[in-house]
Structure 1
Amino acid sequence: MGNKNGQSLTSLALRKFKKNFWGVLSFVVIALMAFIAVFAYVFSPDKTRNANWGDLAIHSKPPGFAVTMLHFEKDERAFSDYFFGSEVPSRKIAILDYKIQGDSLTYWEYAADPSLAVSKTIALKSFGPHITPEVFNKDFISKQKFILGTDSQGRDLLSRLIIGSRVSIAIGFVAVFISLLVGIFFGAIAGYYGGRVDAFVMWLVNIIWSIPTLLLVIAITLALGKGFWQVFVAVGLTMWVEVARVVRGQVMSIKQMQFVTAARALGYNNRRIIINHILPNSMAPVIVISAANFASAILIESGLSFLGLGAQPPVPSWGGMIKDHYNYIILGKPWLALAPGIAMLLLVLAFMMVGNALRDALDVKAE
């Protein structure tokens, strides 16, 4: 199909979408966040699995905090660590100062009050044979800066934020994929066959629709068990009803059109008519709903994590980070909860703006 200028509806929609500044900007934000999530351990300052290295001596430090680190072994990483994180965290400790005297090293562990710092002396050869002060300063001493500060466990907040983006973005993709599979199936058969099939599907949709989403997700999560993938499946199984209602309405309208009647006259079976002829012409509103469901899935997962039913520790998630630090807002350290909250706000807002832009772009009547 095309318009009077010979342009396809897809090219028209794409051209209209490109003209929407906020839609394009939101799409860029989503693409950037997805790229960062995929290569999270490349961008994360902390390369340990789940960015879980921490030192309680430097807990709850403000953004920009810098400290000297003493490494007890050379900081070497395998190539896979940049994609999956290092299972064995590097042995290091935050220190205030150190000095080398002969064959021994004396260092003072970091303390908020320098007068309370504890000093320890160890043999320099414990770092390796023939270690000179110059080699020691180069390989075993570093200055580490925490751009967003540290959390209540002394972990790098920026690293936890970056690794946590994997959970929020993955829950969107998986939950929306599950909701599309289930919703399109039930919506298509209800709209095409009608009668008792339609009555049963709508009865099921109304039952699920009447249950508060969070309570339904909690029930499914408890049935499947706590875990990473269980949450994804639980969220997906609660979001298909809206897809089913929209697909049902679209199918009921499209099945009356002449090209469907012609397909029946040619002897095509119902499955071929639904999959090849009806569904491709009913996807526009489904795409818009999917963008909104992305945002809803992120918020639901965050709510579950806040309640302790989402991604389980030590896996970082934005909802879990807010849960761990929301009380710090009144303790003068609001950035610990605001950082994941703002990240979540930007991602959800971006998906909503893309959904609005797609709705306008796919509105053929407006052209």
Structure 2
Amino acid sequence: MIIYITAACVYLIAVLIAGLVMNPDLYGVHYENKFLTPSFSHPFGTDFMGRDMFWRSIKGLSNSILVGLAASAVSSVIALIFGVAAAVAGGKTDKIITWLVDCCMGMPHIVLLLLISYMMGRGGFGVAFAVAVTHWPELTRLVRAEVLQVKNAQYVQAAVKMGKSKTRIAKEHIIPHVLPVYLIGLVLLFPHAIMHEASLTFLGFGFSASTPAIGGILSEAMKHIVTGKWWLCLFPGLILLVAVMLFDVIGDKLKMLLNPGSGNQ
């Protein structure tokens, strides 16, 4: 189990670091090499501008992972704060947060992402902001449900009778017990964030064409796939699929490690 998690993390971290330190010349324009089929020198072939698709795809996936990490971190913190506040404070606070969750989940996700990204000027910041502020509702519900269970525990009730404040009780007695659910939810946010970033870029509301991104690469490939340039969409799509599946593997294995009883369900 730990081997699977380690292997998945090593792959994803290697792609992220490779993209950050990569020389732009590796995926630069070389018109003399345009539309080359996959070979040893160009494993993923080249595109209509002669750019090496292997290095361009690695750089694009690195950008997607970076956006996914940043957006998921922000979104998960929002979910933790809202989930704990709703369950601990109760009353009007709980009703308002629950109403916000229902509003966000009631609207088609992709439409909300498109609107927010457009309002924020598109580009890397626009897509990261859109993903960050739209992925907290489901995790908020999970955290809230977990806190409600812990809230009724005897040691929490004892802390209440001892006169401790709600903030101190949440910090010392509740949050430590909901961290396993929070961490699993955080990891499982990554694949959703990466896929939604790729979707926004594919539709033209994410990274600009000058910035390597899997969504943009796949969007460009659609113009040439009918002419038989199959490698332009096959390999970038595969490495995106592999990254998403690896995040799912990490999340599932973490769930089994942190909650062994889930394996019997």
Instruction: Compute the TM-score of the two structures, normalised by the length of structure 2.
Output: 0.92
Counterpart of 1:28? Answer: 7
Structure 2 letter corresponding to 1:199: K
Q: Output the CA distance in 1 between the equivalents of 2:192 and 2:119.
A: 22
CA RMSD of aligned residues (A): 1.9
Counterpart of 1:48? Answer: 24
Q: Output the CA distance in 2 between the equivalents of 1:329 and 1:280.
A: 51
Is the helix fraction higher in 1 or 2? 2
Structure 1 letter corresponding to 2:168: R
Q: 1:209 aligns with which of 100, 105, 111?
A: 105
Q: 2:33 aligns with which of 52, 55, 58?
A: 58
Q: 1:177 aligns with which of 58, 62, 73?
A: 73
Counterpart of 1:272? Answer: 168
Structure 2 letter corresponding to 1:62: T
Counterpart of 1:77? Answer: none
Q: Output the CA distance in 1 between the equivalents of 2:52 and 2:42.
A: 6
After TM superposition, give the deviation of residue 52 of structure 1 in Å: 5.1
Counterpart of 2:94? Answer: 198
Q: Output the CA distance in 1 between the equivalents of 2:112 and 2:49.
A: 33
After TM superposition, give the deviation of residue 57 of structure 1 in Å: 2.9
Q: Does 1:316 align with 2:212?
A: yes
Provide Cα deviations, 1:150-209, integer angstroms capped at 9, x if missing partner: 111111111111211221111221111111111111111111121221111111110100
Q: Does 1:281 align with 2:185?
A: no
Provide Cα deviations, 1:72-96, integer angstroms capped at 9, x if missing partner: xxxxxxxxxxxxxxxxxxxxxxxxx
| 1:227-306 equivalence runs, <5 A | 227-306=123-202
Structure 1 letter corresponding to 2:114: I
Larger radius of gyration: 1
Structure 2 letter corresponding to 1:177: A
After TM superposition, give the deviation of residue 26 of structure 1 in Å: 5.3
Provide Cα deviations, 1:289-325, integer angstroms capped at 9, x if missing partner: 2222111111101100101111113110111101101
Q: Output the CA distance in 1 between the equivalents of 2:19 and 2:101.
A: 38
Instruction: Compute the TM-score of the two structures, normalised by the length of structure 1.
Output: 0.67
Q: Output the CA distance in 1 between the equivalents of 2:91 and 2:202.
A: 43
Provide Cα deviations, 1:86-112, integer angstroms capped at 9, x if missing partner: xxxxxxxxxxxxxxxxxxxxxxxxxxx
Mind listing any 5+ residue stretches in structure 2 that lack a counterpart? none
Is the strand fraction higher in 1 or 2? 1
After TM superposition, give the deviation of residue 348 of structure 1 in Å: 0.4
Q: Does 1:333 align with 2:193?
A: no
After TM superposition, give the deviation of residue 364 of structure 1 in Å: 4.1
Q: Output the CA distance in 1 between the equivalents of 2:237 and 2:258.
A: 31
- Do the aligned partners of 1:30 and 1:347 also contact (CA within 8 Å) in 2? no
Q: 2:242 aligns with which of 324, 346, 349?
A: 346
Provide Cα deviations, 1:245-289, integer angstroms capped at 9, x if missing partner: 011111111111111122223332211211221011012222222
- Do the aligned partners of 2:82 and 2:97 also contact (CA within 8 Å) in 1? yes
Q: Which runs of 4+ in 1 moved over 6 A?
A: none
After TM superposition, give the deviation of residue 27 of structure 1 in Å: 4.2
Q: Summarize the Cα distance change of 1:41–1:279 in structure 2 as closer, same or farther, 3 Å threshold.
A: closer
Structure 2 letter corresponding to 1:228: G
Structure 2 letter corresponding to 1:38: I
Structure 1 letter corresponding to 2:4: L
Structure 2 counterpart SS, 1:282: helix
- Do the aligned partners of 1:328 and 1:337 also contact (CA within 8 Å) in 2? no
Q: 1:37 aligns with which of 16, 41, 49?
A: 16
Q: Output the CA distance in 1 between the equivalents of 2:108 and 2:20.
A: 37
Structure 2 letter corresponding to 1:214: I
Q: Output the CA distance in 2 between the equivalents of 1:234 and 1:191.
A: 26
* Sequence identity (%): 30
Provide Cα deviations, 1:94-143, integer angstroms capped at 9, x if missing partner: xxxxxxxxxxxxxxxxxxxxxxxxxxxxxxxxxxxxxxxxxxxxxxxxxx
- Do the aligned partners of 2:68 and 2:193 also contact (CA within 8 Å) in 1? yes
Q: Summarize the Cα distance change of 1:293–1:273 in structure 2 as closer, same or farther, 3 Å threshold.
A: same
Q: Does 1:361 align with 2:257?
A: yes
Counterpart of 1:99? Answer: none
